[in-house]
Amino acid sequence: MKFIKVDSYEKLSRQAANIISAQVIIKPDCVLGLATGSSPIGTYKQLINWYEKGDIDFSNTISVNLDEYVGLSGDKDQSYRYFMNNNFFNRINIKKENTFVPNGCAEDLNAECEAYDAKIKELGGIDLQLLGIGLDGHIGFNEPDDSFIKNTHVVDLHESTIEANSRFFASRDEVPTKAVTMGMVSIMQAKKILLIANGQNKKEILEKAFFGPITPQIPASILQLHPDLTVIYSEN
Ligand code: GLP
């Protein structure tokens, strides 16, 4: 594991964007595993900036996102599909049909989960997976549990996650209580993993996840077993 500490969110975003752009330049038709949340916004901004300057071309790139709220359609501004379109996809030249986000409104959610795993397999797996980390150590929406869950699945969000994510909603009651999330197999089978985190409040969970025992109670701790993991952290 490479653990890189930087002193500003700008530097974190630039370094993360550098790693992603290197991946796209080396393999233009790569599969990027992408994340939502506030952490990657600066990374996406930097990539958009380089795209606008003509330095990166996403026309052959494919993306698969980690997760989506159950019951929020892509036109709702708190949905992760909306977030990705708004913060990234609409502002670069990736083909919309090459961007995949789980459908949290599917009639049969179990079938949607199976189809999502099949799609990732059909694409040949993920070349580079970008991750944030929740305050309880969740990645995607893989919440602390008694075991690691392998496949894409429907999850009941923990109270602390609902609380943390309520800042994106008008009120706490509007936060969905369930989500669809990629499981640990697709994440761990990614060829490279890049986890970014910023802020004092993430310090403790990063210590537990990357310098403590591997346990499903801290889902991100499994990443310690990945052969090509980079963590970038900025305290500010
Ligand atoms: C959500 C997302 C995660 C993300 C986490 C942390 O729960 N499902 O993928 O990593 O929030 O978000 P933030 O970057 O805003 O702290």
For residue 132, how far is its CA from the centre of ligand 1 (angstroms)? Answer: 5
For residue 93, how far is its CA from the centre of ligand 1 (angstroms)? Answer: 25
Full residue range of the structural domain in which residue 186 is found: 2-234
The torsion angles phi and psi of 74, rounded to 5 degrees, stand at: -60, -15
Give the nearest ligand 1 atom to 67 CA. Answer: 8
Instruction: Quote the CA–CA distance of 23 and 20 in Å, as a whole number.
Output: 5
**How are beta strands 128-131 and 99-100 bridged, if at all?**
unpaired
Instruction: Quote the CA–CA distance of 144 and 84 in Å, as a whole number.
Output: 25
For residue 133, how far is its CA from the centre of ligand 1 (angstroms)? Answer: 6
Task: Provide DSSP, 53-89.
Answer: TTS---TT-EEEESEEETT--TTSTTSHHHHHHHHTG
Task: Indicate the number of domains in the chain.
Answer: 1
Instruction: Quote the CA–CA distance of 14 and 3 in Å, as a whole number.
Output: 16
Residues annotated as catalytic are 67, 136, 138, 143
pLDDT at 146 (0 to 100): 96
Ligand 1 pocket at CB < 6 A:
35-39, 66-67, 132-134, 140-141, 161, 165
SS3 category, 127: coil
- Here the tokens at position 155 are 């999850």
Ligand 1 site-directed mutation target among 36, 81, 206, most atoms within 8 Å of CB: 36
SS3 category, 195: strand
Give rounded-to-5 percent helix, strand, coil for the chain: 40, 20, 40
pLDDT at 169 (0 to 100): 94
- Here the tokens at position 38 are 């506030």
For residue 144, how far is its CA from the centre of ligand 1 (angstroms)? Answer: 14
> How many Cα atoms occupy the beta-carbon half-sphere of 78 within 13 Å?
16
The torsion angles phi and psi of 197, rounded to 5 degrees, stand at: -150, 145
Spans in the chain with pLDDT lower than 70 = none
pLDDT at 209 (0 to 100): 98
CATH number at residue 113: 3.40.50.1360
Ligand 1 site-directed mutation target among 80, 83, 138, most atoms within 8 Å of CB: 138
The per-residue pLDDT for range 119-139, each reduced to its tens digit, is: 999 999 999 999 999 999 999
pLDDT at 177 (0 to 100): 96
